[in-house]
Amino acid sequence: MEAHVGANQRIARLVAHLRPSNSQEGGDGVLERGECRAKGGAPGFKVAILGAAGGIGQPLALLMKINPLVSVLHLYDVVNTPGVTADVSHMDTGAVVRGFLGQAQLESALTGMDLVIIPAGVPRKPGMTRDDLFKINAGIVKTLCEGIAKACPNAIVNLISNPVNSTVAIAAEVFKKAGTYDPKKLLGVTTLDVARANTFVAEVLGVDPREVDVPVVGGHAGVTILPLLSQVKPPSSFTAEETAYLTDRIQNGGTEVVEAKAGTGSATLSMAYAAAKFANSCLRGLKGEAGVVECSFVDSQVTELPFFATKVRLGRAGAEEVYQLGPLNEYERIGLEKAKKELAGSIQKGIDFIRNQA
């Protein structure tokens, strides 16, 4: 009899927890679903995705839910997180999933996080540059970073929202203003440029892309995306035509997708893959694994610019070592000068956006 009553109470509790809620205010149902599953959670890191209901956010949520290094996954957006959270939470992997909806829940979404991934913001349509997104996305990134400074100032931040060449500077300024800036922990995500470079170079060489490693430096827009084909692994040589073709295709890979999607958005699936790969490297670094190296747009002394993408070594503290460019050929030296010129303006635009509001 005793055992019977106990079982009934457990079921009643579970039913109460699982009652669906689409409340914009509290989102209690979604949170409670997380709570009641939390007991079985695996050890690991706590990760939040901001913009989790979007084209990148949803497949990224799926990929982070299957990452064995993740124990808690917080999904935040200004729309649709209850549905995405309910959906992803049914995957029988270790991470406990909790959803958060709207600005009022931002702080709860961020509290205690080890890693925050930000794909929030509007994507391009054909004919637009990434810089055309600045007007809307600058404010979104500012608000989200203010939340991070308040709720999880020690978290590693993976910034995806475009224009990355400016939004990383915006994030840094917000953190500086809040007194929480740690340059090692702010990482602009340029992994998709590397994925594209590996793919396109492998096509030209006729090899498996998994065997190719192309360093891509500079930034994340047009000419600021600078693939270093002279440093490709395995060592390979390219004709002048191949170099021009590959450089152009890598620099315009994003536009290739924007045009193919014809007004319905930009890269989402390949970006979610790239973001998940980069986040996994950050978590491996946090765990203390040695020799984890990725390209990323970070606070840097490699050039005269305050931010620049090169290979970085990821560790417990974030980007613990920022690698130099290595030897460049003449073609790359010319490309570097062009990249730096454009990057300087984009970075300054991000800095001014925050400083001029003071």
Ligand X SMILES: O=C([O-])CC(=O)C(=O)O
Ligand Y SMILES: NC(=O)C1=CN([C@@H]2O[C@H](COP(=O)(O)OP(=O)(O)OC[C@H]3O[C@@H](n4cnc5c(N)ncnc54)[C@H](O)[C@@H]3O)[C@@H](O)[C@H]2O)C=CC1
Active site residues: 220
> What is the rounded CA–CA span in Å between residue 204 and residue 149?
45
Q: How far is CA 342 from CA 11, 35, 85, 296, 355, in A?
A: 61, 47, 39, 18, 20
Residue 330 CB, nearest distance to ligand Y (Å)? 28
> What is the rounded CA–CA span in Å between residue 124 and residue 129?
7
> What is the rounded CA–CA span in Å between residue 33 and residue 98?
7
Q: Is 356 annotated as a binding residue?
A: no
Task: Give the interface segment with ligand Y, choosing from 23-31, 89-97, 113-121, 239-247 (CB under 6 A).
Answer: 113-121
**Binding residues for ligand X restricted to 50-109, rule: CB under 6 A:** none
266 binds ligand X (CB under 6 A): yes
Residue with smaller CB distance to ligand Y, 108 or 143: 143
> What is the rounded CA–CA span in Å between residue 257 and residue 264?
10
Look at residue 167 and give the partner it binds from ligand Y, ligand X, none, a contact being a CB closer than 5 to 8 Å depending on partner kind.
none
DSSP bridge partners of 49: 75, 117
Among 117, 192, 197, 201, the residue binding ligand X under the rule CB under 6 A is 192
Look at residue 258 and give the partner it binds from ligand Y, ligand X, none, a contact being a CB closer than 5 to 8 Å depending on partner kind.
ligand X
Q: Look at residues 138, 128, 76 and name the one whose alpha carbon lies nearest to residue 265.
A: 128
Tokens 């996954």 — which residue? 73
Q: Is 49 annotated as a binding residue?
A: no
Q: Is 124 annotated as a binding residue?
A: yes
130 binds ligand X (CB under 6 A): yes
SS3 letters across 264-300: CCCCCHHHHHHHHHHHHHHHHHHHCCCCEEEEEEEEC
- Closest-by-Cβ residue to ligand X is 254
Q: How many CB atoms lie within 10 A of CB 255?
A: 18
Residue 134 CB, nearest distance to ligand X (Å)? 12
Residue 317 CB, nearest distance to ligand Y (Å)? 23
**Binding residues for ligand X restricted to 158-187, rule: CB under 6 A:** 162
**Binding residues for ligand Y restricted to 34-53, rule: CB under 6 A:** 50-51, 53
Tokens 């956006």 — which residue? 353
Look at residue 78 and give the partner it binds from ligand Y, ligand X, none, a contact being a CB closer than 5 to 8 Å depending on partner kind.
ligand Y
Q: Is 271 annotated as a binding residue?
A: yes
Tokens 């995405």 — which residue? 84
Amino acid sitting at position 170 = I
Look at residue 257 and give the partner it binds from ligand X, ligand Y, none, a contact being a CB closer than 5 to 8 Å depending on partner kind.
ligand X
Q: How far is CA 166 from CA 108, 155, 301, 317, in A?
A: 27, 20, 17, 23
Task: Tell me which residues touch ligand X (CB under 6 A).
Answer: 123-124, 130, 162, 192, 254-255, 257-258, 266-267
Which residue ranges are tagged as binding site for substrate?
124, 130, 162, 196
